[in-house]
Amino acid sequence: MADIKTEYYQDKRGEWRWRKTHKNGEIVGASSEGYINKSDCQKNANRDGSKDRWEFYKDKKGEHRWRSFATNGRQVGRASEGYKAKKDCEHNAATNGWPGK
């Protein structure tokens, strides 16, 4: 993951968010919610996705996307864009903690 940089920032509401950016500038992951505490945001960005429930689906444009849910049912991650090929979507999910099939 040396090609991926995680950035933490505060949104317009003053809540902490994260985004993962590839060295080519492409955003490959982003938080799906804001956090009051930066430490909670950092924990979410670095969570072990092997315990999460991962869902893959096609959006209205017919592009592949993913989202992940913690054991308590809360959504904790999602694709920041749609992918034409399912394998590209799965690669992006793996970059964000998906343990694979």
Angle, CA 49 vertex, CA 20 and CA 67 arms, to 5°: 70
CATH fold, domain 4-95, is PH-domain like (2.30.29)
pLDDT of 35 reads 96
pLDDT in tens, 65-89: 999 999 999 998 889 899 999 999 9
Give the per-residue pLDDT at 30.
87
Q: Say whether 28 sits in a helix, a strand or coil.
A: strand
User: What are the extents of the domains in the chain?
Assistant: 4-95
Q: Is the pLDDT of residue 36 over 70?
A: yes
AA letter at 73: G
Token reading at 45: 């960005």
- The residue-averaged pLDDT of 24-49 equals 91
Q: Which neighbouring-strand residues pair with 75? A: 69
| pLDDT average, residue stretch 19-34 | 89
Is pLDDT above 70 for 1? no
Task: Answer yes or no: are the C-beta atoms of 80 and 72 closer than 8 Å.
Answer: no
